[in-house]
Amino acid sequence: MITFALVFCSLSQQADYHGFVRHDFSFAGTNAIVVEPRTPARDWPWIWRTEFFDHRPQLDLMMLEKGYHLVHLNVGNTFGAPASMEQFGKFYNELISSKWNLNRRVVLEGFSRGGLYAYNWACRNPDKVQAIYGDAPVCDFKTWPRQHSPADWDALIQSYGFPDARRAIEYPFNPIDNLKALVQAKVPIIHVVGDADTVVPVAENTSVLERRYKELGGTIEVIHKPGVDHHPHSLDDATPIARFIERHASDSARARLGTCIPAPNPESRYVSAGWGGRSWLDQHQDTLAEAKRANYEVVLVGDSITQGFGGPGRSVYGGGSESYREYLSGCLNAGMSGDRVQHVAWRLENGLRDIKARLFLVLVGINNSNDDSPSAVVAGLREIKRKYPKCKILPLLPAGFLPTDPKRVWVNAVNSGIKGFSEAPVDGLLDAEGRLKSELYSGDGLHLSSGGYKVLGKAISDRYLGAK
């Protein structure tokens, strides 16, 4: 992890921040800030200002006095889009590494549009969140920027990769729509809002989120400022916010791992990676519709590697269609590019498990590698195996051209952990020295070439098709 950190993080410059030591540095080409408390509190807690660093910092200064670190990563005006959440994930891993030693759980602080960043990262990583503090936060981008800032609305559509405004309006994973995982992870939420907010109306944002979070059984408190518009943010005395965070500091400490909490995939690729202009939910429904159209004995469940085989209802971006026709034409392909363990668990829970198939072959986990530990992926796959006996868990395919590649080390750790309940690995993808056979992989050392799909397709056919 230290080597990884040095690749992404250049030497920092120190400055004064309201009497605290501030470090400014470049992380993966992005400006980053870490402010140190004078004396770190036990377990090194921290608060992450997702946007508008140093604007109305009453709570930030109070938490610094209490021993919290304060951090910020400037990903630009990207509205919490999936690409910026990838950057957040790498920054998080940097901060919990031995470089900074910060706590595994973080308090996320979202001012205004920063609410999109805070909630989107939290929903993607619910087990890594101590609490969420939203200050006049955007909880539904159909209200802001759509109704108030045409230029920002156009920029949001571009940042998320929506093909058009209609797709953005139909997007089902705004914070108000995507709360279940946070409740299951026992994440406490506090909002501070001006009741006369004309920019981010309370009734369409915080009030909706508050009602839905309570209905799901979550803990949320809202502090109202009568007659106050969008500004000024925060409270002159942030003590009530700090007390809420401290009072609920241990709520999520024993939460289930995020890989064990079924969750939909909030990505919005549409026109890339084989999504064929369809949304993630569209593709899930396509799979269920195809299962009703024809009888399939075997269902292939996974991510882009599985999707690359193609087949009915699946767009193909890679070279697996010939292998599908040769070896797997009797299988229903339920692979979806970008999926992680928790996304597959959600799809199984929401329709896949009802398909009248003999077995489900599950190959998923590599997309968790940027955010989750091997042990977390093992736990998620074990949970799938426990809940769905028809599922056979396939070991992850080798990744990274060399045996020492960090991605390979991570994959090997996952496969070692699932050995007791997974299937035998697929042979023939490595040479005698343990290197990837370049003719079987694409240039990224992860996805398969047409030759690689032949190896995988034949292995699946030989082992599972026709076997009763």
- Eight-class DSSP state of 202: G
Same domain, residue pair 299 and 373: yes
pLDDT, one tens digit for every residue, the chain (468 residues): 333 343 345 557 899 999 999 999 999 999 999 999 999 999 999 999 999 999 999 999 999 999 999 999 999 999 999 999 999 999 999 999 999 999 999 999 999 999 999 999 999 999 999 999 999 999 999 999 999 999 999 999 999 999 999 999 999 999 999 999 999 999 999 999 999 999 999 999 999 999 999 999 999 999 999 999 999 999 999 999 999 999 999 999 988 999 999 999 998 887 666 677 889 999 999 999 999 999 999 999 999 999 999 988 777 666 789 999 999 998 999 999 999 999 999 999 999 999 999 999 999 999 999 999 999 999 999 999 999 999 999 999 999 999 999 999 999 999 999 999 999 999 999 999 999 999 999 999 999 999 999 999 999 999 999 643
Q: Evaluate the CA torsion angle 82, 94, 70, 54 in order and state its sign.
A: negative
State the pLDDT at residue 10: 54
The position carrying tokens 């990744």 is 399
Same domain, residue pair 239 and 268: no
Q: How far apart are the C-alpha atoms of 49 and 335, rounded to whole Å?
A: 36
Same domain, residue pair 120 and 40: yes
Same domain, residue pair 196 and 279: no
Q: How far apart are the C-alpha atoms of 73 and 108, rounded to whole Å?
A: 12
State the pLDDT at residue 467: 45
Q: How far apart are the C-alpha atoms of 179 and 195, rounded to whole Å?
A: 23
| 366: three-class secondary structure by DSSP | helix
| 341: three-class secondary structure by DSSP | helix
Q: How far apart are the C-alpha atoms of 237 and 104, rounded to whole Å?
A: 28
Same domain, residue pair 227 and 284: no
Q: For residues 299 and 391, is the Cβ–Cβ distance under 8 A?
A: no
Same domain, residue pair 246 and 365: no
Last residue of a domain, one of 253, 269, 298: 253
Same domain, residue pair 244 and 264: no
Same domain, residue pair 365 and 230: no
Same domain, residue pair 182 and 120: yes
Q: Is 90 left (phi over 0), alpha (psi -120 to 50) or beta?
A: alpha
| 17: three-class secondary structure by DSSP | strand
State the pLDDT at residue 416: 98
- Over the stretch 10-68, which tens digit does the pLDDT of each residue have? 557 899 999 999 999 999 999 999 999 999 999 999 999 999 999 999 999 999 999 99
Burial class (CB in 10 A: 0-12, 13-18, 19+), 38: exposed
The CATH number of residue 67's host domain is 3.40.50.1820
Q: Who's near 63: CB < 8 A, 6+ residues apart?
A: 47, 70, 107, 242, 245
Same domain, residue pair 278 and 169: no
Q: Who's near 88: CB < 8 A, 6+ residues apart?
A: 73, 75, 117, 121
Q: For residues 414 and 396, is the Cβ–Cβ distance under 8 A?
A: yes
Q: What is the DSSP string of 421-432?
A: TB-PPPPSSB-T
- Burial pattern 192-223, b for ≥16 Cβ within 10 A else e, equals bbbeebebbbbebbbbbbbebbeeeebbbeee
Which domain, by its residues, includes 24? 2-253
Angle at 345 between CA 206 and CA 411, to 5 degrees: 110
The number of domains in the chain is: 2
Last residue of a domain, one of 209, 234, 253: 253
Same domain, residue pair 206 and 277: no
What CA dihedral angle connects 152, 158, 164 and 166, to 10 degrees? -50
- Over the stretch 62-89, which tens digit does the pLDDT of each residue have? 999 999 999 999 999 999 999 999 999 9
Same domain, residue pair 248 and 346: no
User: Is the bond preceding residue 266 a cis peptide, omega within 30 degrees?
Assistant: no
The CATH number of residue 338's host domain is 3.40.50.1110
Last residue of a domain, one of 253, 270, 288: 253
